[in-house]
Amino acid sequence: MQAIIIKNTGGPEVIQLEERESPKVKADKVLIEVKAAGVNRPDVFQRMGGYPAPEGAPDDIPGLEVAGIIKEVGKEVKQWKEGDKVCALVAGGGYASEVTAPSEQCLPIPKGLSFVEGASLPETFFTVWSNVFDRGRFQKDESFLVHGGTSGIGVTAIQMVKSMGGKVFTTAGTQEKCDCAIKLGADLAINYKTQDFEEHLKEKKEGVDVILDMVGGDYTVKNINILNQEGRLVIINAMKNAESTLNMKKVMVKRLTITGSTLRARSAEFKGAIAKNLLKHIWPKIETGEIKPVIYKTFPLAEASKAHELMESSEHIGKIILTLE
């Protein structure tokens, strides 16, 4: 098979296309002929040496989400058959023409979607459901803030929470991105380069029930300041700084919950439970067009380094996808 290999840690130029042996299919997994693969920020961190693959996943082939056709099924797999069109969350190895995935982490490509659109779904949709709805305990009619509203996570979170009855706030770095977030369903989009999101929300007399944060650093204090009583702060990255000083009195008085998670190393059973919730609650909304994939640009697999350059520029709105068709 063809695969993008991380030759050594460094810039985008260290990932190159090579020939590799196809992966062996274990009893509880399926082999997918990959037609498209999503590019995500963790792929960049892995390339730079900051996000090693969990045990059992390829340590030199990045890629956390794919869409394609099942080519082979393990002997214990009952719910899938050869020829099924699926998208899947994988722990690594997605930048390749073939990849194995636990059967629980596969989902049917929603009706009407292409392989490219299908590949844009798993990583962000699994992440948002797990952190906003499971850990963050979001409920209908609550207010929600996601930072980085036009990132892959952001465009997913805005649409999912809005479709589930939430009031959605977000931050973004340009007016164009703010306008895009509003079109996706955000009730308020704040340009963090020209406005302080904490002060702006206070001026609007808007508190927040659930915050999904990928920034960290001084955002943590601001997040705590704007959370309502019983508010929940869920941290899934700390791109600005992993350390922050907290006013624990505010945490106690407001009865706040501060939590966080990473998804990649969790078990197939854990991810399978998320997949079932997505299939029940979110996939029907995708098929009706209430929630839409947001694709910014596609690149052939061989140009994965260019896709990484775009990811690092943060110019994109939505998802970046590698194609193999």
Write the pLDDT tens digit of every residue in 146-187.
999 999 999 999 999 999 999 999 999 999 999 999 999 999
Q: How much helix, strand and coil, in percent to the nearest 5, is found in the chain? A: 35, 30, 40
Q: Supply the pLDDT for residue 298.
A: 98
For residue 141, which phi and psi values (nearest 5 degrees)?
75, 5
Is pLDDT above 90 for 238? no
Domain count within the chain: 2
% residues pLDDT > 90 (the chain):
95
Are 224 and 142 part of one and the same domain? yes
CATH of the domain at 94: 3.90.180.10
- For the entire predicted model, the pTM comes to 0.96
Angle at 43 between CA 38 and CA 44, to 5 degrees: 125
Are 133 and 199 part of one and the same domain? yes
Q: Supply the pLDDT for residue 88.
A: 98
Parallel/antiparallel/unpaired status of strands 98-102 and 85-89: unpaired
Is pLDDT above 90 for 228? yes
Structural domain ending residue among the three candidates 242, 260, 278 = 260
Q: Supply the pLDDT for residue 129.
A: 98
Q: Supply the pLDDT for residue 13.
A: 97
Structural domain ending residue among the three candidates 260, 282, 301 = 260
Q: How many CB atoms lie within 10 A of CB 265?
A: 13
Q: Supply the pLDDT for residue 79.
A: 95
Cα–Cα dist 65/299, whole Å: 15
Are 75 and 129 part of one and the same domain? no
Are 132 and 254 part of one and the same domain? yes
Collapse the DSSP code of 74 into the 3-class scheme (helix H, G, I; strand E, B; otherwise coil) and give the result. Answer: coil
Q: Supply the pLDDT for residue 243.
A: 85
Are 102 and 62 part of one and the same domain? yes
Q: Supply the pLDDT for residue 299.
A: 98
Are 78 and 142 part of one and the same domain? no
Q: Supply the pLDDT for residue 247.
A: 87
| Residues 6+ away with beta carbon under 8 Å from 308 | 12, 15, 39, 43, 44, 47
pLDDT digits over 111-141, tens only? 999 999 999 999 999 999 999 999 999 999 9
Q: Which is nearest to 141 in space by CA: 157, 165, 160, 162? A: 165
Expressed as residue numbers, the domain containing 20 is 2-121+264-323
Structural domain ending residue among the three candidates 260, 279, 297 = 260
Residue 105: band (very low, low, confident or very high) from pLDDT cuts 50, 70, 90:
very high
**How many Cα atoms are found within 13 Å in the side-chain-facing hemisphere of 194?**
8
CATH of the domain at 138: 3.40.50.720
Are 198 and 238 part of one and the same domain? yes
Q: Supply the pLDDT for residue 240.
A: 85
Are 58 and 106 part of one and the same domain? yes
Are 195 and 68 part of one and the same domain? no
